[in-house]
Amino acid sequence: MYRIVLGKVSDLSTGVLPHALYEQAPQGARRARWLAGRVLLSHALSPLPDIVYGEQGKPAFSADTPLWFNLSHSGDDIALLLSDEGEVGCDIEVVRPRENWKTLANTVFSLGEHAEIEAEHPDHQLATFWRIWTRKEAIVKQRGGSAWQIVSVDSTTLTTSLSVSQCQLETLSLAVCTPTPFTLTADAVQRL
């Protein structure tokens, strides 16, 4: 089972949570996103299982809960991927102008990923950049790695048993990396 839920940070961050979770929330700029993620998880699972953190800081449910999840946010949008199949990763990005996107692509994209961009009409290359970026981030997040590891991932030549799928939802690029085959479609996404 894979479940994908999208919401808005601004709406979810004011949702109801147990007092203990409010106490755990970081202060500052990350607080609203953290709270939104916990509220989104609470919508999907009640009661919310205990959350622990891996070596690289990836949140997970404690070992006695046979479920896995990953959260991602971009702007006011937040995505949750929930699974009973094993470790998962997801990434969501608002498809938006980015002045240095070509320089960034030259720094972290593989030859195959560059070929994917070059095959597109120039008007569609920015959207292709974001499509590749979300795939790479989902793969890194599935592994529990840091964003700096994105350069070591070639999303065009996965040789592992992982499944990577993505779709565009209006101005959002959404990608998931799952341990078993899964095809992400707009119909598979639940919105809160």
pLDDT (tens digit per residue) in 56-70: 888 999 989 999 999
Most trustworthy range by pLDDT among 20-24, 151-155, 159-163, 187-191: 187-191
Place of tokens 């990953």: 70
159 falls in which pLDDT band (50, 70, 90)? low
Most trustworthy range by pLDDT among 142-146, 153-157, 160-164, 179-183: 179-183
pLDDT of residue 185 exceeding 80, the answer is yes
Q: What is the pLDDT of residue 174?
A: 98
pLDDT of residue 46 exceeding 90, the answer is no
Question: Going by C-beta distance under 8 Å and a sequence separation of 6 or more, which residues neighbour residue 86?
Answer: 68, 178, 179, 180
Q: What is the pLDDT of residue 145?
A: 82
- How far is 93 from 128, CA to CA, in rounded Å? 12
Count of alpha carbons within 13 angstroms of residue 153, beta-carbon side: 23
- How far is 179 from 87, CA to CA, in rounded Å? 7
